[in-house]
């Protein structure tokens, strides 16, 4: 009896093993992304106002539709629109339009929050809509701050040019850096 059971169990295990092989294939793909970072980057692109922005997909934790209840944080500047409950985690949401001092837009059905993970912190970013996942080669990325865009250039890493469009690369690490967060408290004292 035992030996039989054992064989069955081992079969299951080997199935599991196969399963994990499949998984790790995906991991491999992800890793190859990292590896090929020097040659190019996979970006998630989104619309904000008139322009298309992109950020490294590896920073993106998930996309969610606009949550039902956001709780405003007292004393925070307007672009921190509040915190909400994402499966037990309390996550702040930053309104990128507000942050970049664009004109506010009514939220519509395509309003999406991109949950990014930077420095082990998960933060939601509101965008007008998410468009695509694209791959850009290193040589197509132009690291320049001389840009005619509506956004304060300190949050811009560069521009990626694809066949038919231009994607502004957001410097998400800086946008959500400790230094930037510290200014939240200063912003508040200005008010």
Partner 1 sequence: MDNPALEEFVEEVEEIIEDLEEGVLELEAQPKKRSLIDRIFRDMHTIKGGAGMVMETELAEYAHHFENLLDKARNGEIVCSPEMASLLLSSIDGFRSFLDRIREGGEVNQELIDNTLSQLREFESNAGKNAASPPAEQTPVKEKPQEDATQAEMVEQEQSSSQDKESENNKKNEDQEEAQWDDEDEGEETAYLLHLKFDPEMLGKGSDPILLLKDLKELGDLDIIPHLGKLPDLKNFNPEEIQLWWSAKLVTTHPVEEIEDILIFFQDGKNDVKFELAETPPEDPGLASFGIYDDQDNRDLEQVRIDEAEEKPVPTPELVPNEIVEQKTENTEKPENEIPTEESTKTEPPAVQPKTSPPKQDANKDSGIKTTQSIRVTIDKLDKLQNLVGETVINQARLHRLSSKIMEIDVNLGEMLLQFVEDNEKSVNELQDQILQVRMIPVGSILNNMKRTVRDYATRSKKKIKLEIEGGDTELDKTVTEQLQGPLVHLVRNSMDHGIEDSDTRVKNGKDPTGTISLKASQQEGYVIVEIEDDGKGIDSKVIFDSAVRKGFIDENDDLTDDEIFKLLFLPGFTTTTEVTDVSGRGVGMDTVKRDIEALLGTIEISSELHKGTSTKLKLPLTLAIIEGMMIDVGHQVFTIPLLSVNESLRPIPKQIKKIKNKGELVEIRGEYIPMLRLHNRLNIVPKYKEPTEGLVVVVQHANRKQCVFVDEIVDQGPVVIKSMEDNFIQVPGIAGATILGDGRVSFILDVASLVN
**Minimum CB distance to partner 1, residue 46 (Å):** 21
Residue 84 as a binder of partner 1 (CB under 8 A): the answer is yes
Cα separation values, 57 from 89, 118, 149, Å: 21, 12, 22
**Interface with partner 1 (CB under 8 A), residue from 8, 10, 32, 153:** 10
Please identify, using beta-carbon distances, which residue of 47 and 73 lies nearer to partner 1.
73
Q: Is 154 in the site for partner 1 (CB under 8 A)?
A: no
Binding mask 19-58 for partner 1 (x = CB under 8 A): ----------------------------------------
Q: In a 10 Å sphere around its CB, with 0-12 CB exposed, 13-18 middle and 19+ buried, how is residue 154 labelled?
A: exposed
Is 13 a binding residue for partner 1 by CB under 8 A? The answer is yes
| C-beta atoms surrounding 178 within 10 Å | 8
C-alpha distance from residue 190 to each of 74, 75, 77, 183, 185 (Å):
14, 11, 10, 10, 9
- CA–CA dist 42, 169 (Å, integer): 11
Note the residues at the interface with partner 1 (CB under 8 A).
Answer: 1-4, 6-7, 10-11, 13-14, 17, 68-76, 82-85, 87-92, 121-123, 181-182, 184-185, 188
């Amino acid at each position: 009896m035992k030996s039989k059971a054992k064989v069955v169990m081992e079969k299951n295990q080997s199935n599991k093993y196969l399963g994990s092989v499949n998984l790790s294939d995906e991991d491999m793909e992800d890793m190859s992304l990292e590896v090929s970072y020097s040659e190019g980057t996979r970006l998630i692109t989104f619309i904000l106002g008139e322009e298309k922005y992109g950020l490294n997909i590896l920073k993106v934790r998930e996309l969610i539709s606009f949550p039902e209840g956001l709780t405003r944080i007292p004393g925070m500047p307007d672009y921190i629109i509040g915190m909400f409950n994402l499966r037990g985690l309390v996550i702040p949401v930053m309104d990128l339009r507000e942050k970049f001092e664009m004109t506010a837009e009514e939220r519509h059905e395509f309003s999406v929050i991109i949950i990014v993970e930077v420095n082990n912190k998960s933060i939601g970013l509101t965008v007008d809509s998410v468009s695509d996942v694209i791959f850009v080669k290193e040589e197509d990325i132009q690291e320049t701050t001389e840009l005619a865009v509506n956004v304060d250039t300190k949050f811009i890493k560069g521009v990626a040019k694809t066949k038919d469009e231009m994607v502004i690369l957001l410097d998400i690490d800086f946008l959500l850096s400790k230094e930037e967060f510290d200014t939240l408290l200063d912003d508040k004292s200005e008010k």
